[in-house]
A and B are shown apart, each in its own frame.
Chain A
Amino acid sequence: AQSVAQPEDQVNVAEGNPLTVKCTYSVSGNPYLFWYVQYPNRGLQFLLKYITGDNLVKGSYGFEAEFNKSQTSFHLKKPSALVSDSALYFCAVRGPGGGNKLTFGTGTQLKVEL
């Protein structure tokens, strides 16, 4: 069975500082990994994905994520946070043989303050 863990319910950072939102996964075989963001009263917006290739993946709005196979992690990062980045962030995984079934983490609320 595949699973995702987001160990932090909330992350607080000051605007302009770097941010990291943590994600670890468990899946059989090579993982397909995704980050989504959810703003209040909105659906999920796709940020970035890792399927294969470079371990550092760049996505929308200046976000990037680093795939680490040995640590089974896929942490979301941004060099300089903005107040407008405040939202709920979900990590998701699916295995290569799992069809299109995505398993989501519990979400991390990011709060960026002035």
Chain B
Amino acid sequence: SAVISQKPSRDICQRGTSLTIQCQVDSQVTMMFWYRQQPGQSLTLIATANQGSEATYESGFVIDKFPISRPNLTFSTLTVSNMSPEDSSIYLCSATDGLAKNIQYFGAGTRLSVL
């Protein structure tokens, strides 16, 4: 299975600032995803990070707010822009590897608090 590392693991940010979250996979993976888990709630898919092209965003999420990069097959970043307290959530990166491509493996998440 793919091992996924995220950093930072947590952060406290001021309203109006931006935070970039990094996701590193220990092997080349076909697909990478970013999810949001709001306090006490389930996971919601933000976008699929496509290697070499623009990310595919789900309804309710836009590139200006959540720009995503994926420069290669093992790395992706998610930026949370112009943050407000409503952005306080856990942000999770996941990936699907080639051997078990039906299974998504998850990082430990980034716990973000916006003041």
Contact = CB atoms under 8 A, between A and B. Distances in A.
B31 interface: yes
A102 interface: yes
A53 to B, nearest CB: 13
B42 A43 contact: no
Interface string B85-106: 0000000101010000011111
A46 B101 CA distance: 13
A32 B100 CA distance: 13
B104 A100 contact: yes
A68 B13 CA distance: 46
Contact of A102 (B45, B109, B111): B45
Q: How many residues of A sit at the interface, in one of the four size bands?
A: 20 to 34
A12 interface: no
A42 B111 CA distance: 10
A41 B108 CA distance: 7
The A contact surface, by secondary structure, is loop
Contact of B31 (A34, A45, A100, A106): A100
Contact of B92 (A34, A43, A105): A43
A41 B92 CA distance: 12
B53 interface: no
A51 interface: yes
Interface string A4-25: 0000000000000000000000
A38 B114 CA distance: 23
B106 A49 contact: no
A43 B107 contact: yes
20 contacts: A34-B104, A36-B106, A42-B108, A43-B92, A43-B109, A44-B92, A44-B94, A46-B103, A46-B106, A49-B102, A51-B102, A90-B42, A99-B48, A100-B33, A100-B96, A102-B43, A102-B104, A104-B42, A105-B42, A107-B42
